[in-house]
A and B are shown apart, each in its own frame.
Chain A
């Protein structure tokens, strides 16, 4: 069964550094999402992406964040200057024709020290 993949599984970075989290959505999917989950808290929506542009973003998704689909397969989340509070699990998700069914990747654990 096709699945969403994410790399790396765990990223450790120093405060102030840039980090790029990578996702490979399911190949025929059209809508892409990033969520984050701070340890012990609920999953929070960050941004959605369709047709090569952001379609929706939350208040969390400020100027430090950006997303890109650099080629036909990858979907990336960049954090320009990481802060301690960016430490969280970041989930990528994608949907295809069944737009109400989001398939989640396994997540990337980001630790900012």
Chain B
């Protein structure tokens, strides 16, 4: 079974600084998707970024980028130029390529951006 581990329950960063959130996962599959979701206090789950495992290039979305290390089964999220609106819970998630119905989430990291 696939598991997703986020080892940092809480993190904080100063506004405009850079922060990296860690995620590791366990799978025997070769093809899969990885995601970072943001959950602000409003509780809505918002997709931040996704990565297809077959792609070697790290995904980027504006201030958000990932460091995908397939051999190490690591998928960290880097937030550059942190903004107050980035304050939220961040969940790492895994989805199998074949069985794409079952998304597994990590326990989450609570990120606080301080002014």
Interface residues of A (CB under 8 A from B): 31, 33, 35, 41-45, 48, 50, 55-56, 58, 89, 91, 93, 99-107, 109
A33 and B44 form a contact (CB under 8 A): no
A101 and B45 form a contact (CB under 8 A): no
Q: Give the size category of B's interface with A.
A: 20 to 34
Alpha-carbon distance A50/B101, docked complex (angstroms):
10
A56 and B99 form a contact (CB under 8 A): yes
Alpha-carbon distance A50/B108, docked complex (angstroms):
28
Q: Does B91 contact A (CB under 8 A)?
A: yes
Alpha-carbon distance A72/B82, docked complex (angstroms):
42
A45 and B104 form a contact (CB under 8 A): yes
Alpha-carbon distance A104/B40, docked complex (angstroms):
13
Interface residues of B (CB under 8 A from A): 33, 37, 42-47, 50, 52, 91, 93, 95, 99-108
Alpha-carbon distance A101/B42, docked complex (angstroms):
21
A107 and B105 form a contact (CB under 8 A): no
> What does DSSP make chain A's interface, helix, strand, loop or mixed?
strand
Closest to B107 in A: A42
Closest to B52 in A: A100
Q: How far does the Cβ of B107 sit from chain A's closest Cβ, in whole Å? A: 5
Q: Which of B42, B45, B47, B101 touches A43 (beta carbons < 8 Å)?
A: B45
Alpha-carbon distance A109/B43, docked complex (angstroms):
10
Alpha-carbon distance A102/B104, docked complex (angstroms):
12
A104 and B45 form a contact (CB under 8 A): yes
Alpha-carbon distance A58/B102, docked complex (angstroms):
8
